[in-house]
Copies of this chain bind each other. A is one copy, B any other.
Amino acid sequence: MSDVAREAGVSPMSVSNAFKRPEIVQPETRERILTAARRLGYVPNGVAGTLASGRSRMVAALVPSIRNSSFARTVQGLSDQLAEQGYQLLLAVADTAERERQAIESVLGRRPDGIILTGNEHHPDTIRLLRQSGVPLVETWILSGPILDMAVGFDLNEAAQAMGRLLVSRGYRHIGFAGYAPAERSRFLERQRGFQAALREAGLRDDLLFYAEETAGFAGGRLAMAVLRAQEPRLDALFCVTDIFAVGALFECQRQGLVVPRDFAVAGYGDFEIAAEVVPGLTTVRTRGYEIGRAAAHLIVERAEGGIPAPRIDVGFEVIIRGSI
């Protein structure tokens, strides 16, 4: 920077201003500075800037997986929104509470202007570290329950209940549930609760439950069908907590010669791209992962610039009806 200042015949201060607050420096001085900078290939050192100003224009995000379409959408939303506002994204993929703790610790050393988390279940040490740091926080994909600072999500319970009711209204009477293990995690549990509530309302049994690992992929749906049909041979429908399980179930029906939805109905969750393409189309809950990412980034930036945004944002959901039920 001092090189640029010398080259342009001004003080370092003016160079700094020419980059950060161009309107404050006289047009011709600014021009001289920018020309000198270009000639020297000068790129301002943001590290020094962060240290001096205490603002990093960097936001960290922790996601459990990048392969999952939902979180991929969220990351895309974060990335788009942050880029638009001149911020950068520090990404950490952490699929366990322990890895999350480690990631948080190293991320905190970078002094981000905010941290975006997934869900509301964290290691106690993580919570302590975050609280201590005072950094603005957004928890995503969850809306109810205790939150640390801010949250962006939708009503998981209601979304699952809506789909449960739809299945009931279509006349299915032995409806299974394919969920994520471990089932006690609140992000997972709320969906199950909503589903069960809908079945109980209708006086149907609500204990046809199967749990597969988040990483199970399409196999989750196949396994759920096998296990639940063994448990209840009259099983006529399956609600899956992810379209991936649901599409796996559809493929399994195809292999077994079951005609969907005549012989068996399948409903999903996520409205991933494949839901609209598979034959028959998948009836599913459309979640708004991209919007969650954008909203979360927006909250952090608002706070970083001194605003006091609403602490909880509900991006909603939608039931998309296609041919699979």
Contacts and interface: CB of A to CB of B under 8 A. Distances in A.
A110 B88 contact: yes
Interface residues on A, range: 35 or more
A94 to B, nearest CB: 8
Contacts of A56: 47
Contacts of A48: 51
B51 A47 contact: yes
A247 to B, nearest CB: 8
A26 interface: no
Interface-centre pick from A80, A109, A132 (highest chain B CB count, 10 A): A109
A86 B106 CA distance: 8
A273 B217 CA distance: 8
Contacts of A276: 218
Interface stretch (A65-73, A189-197, A229-237): A65-73
A247 B47 CA distance: 46
A45 interface: yes
A111 B128 CA distance: 30
Interface string A292-315: 000000000000000000000000
A146 interface: no
A245 B216 CA distance: 23
Given A86-B106, A218-B274, A274-B274, A72 B79 contact: no
Closest 8 CB pairs of A and B: A46-B109, A218-B277, A41-B132, A91-B91, A79-B93, A254-B279, A43-B108, A47-B50
Given A67-B73, A83-B103, 7 more contacts: A43-B108, A44-B109, A58-B90, A66-B72, A80-B93, A86-B106, A217-B273
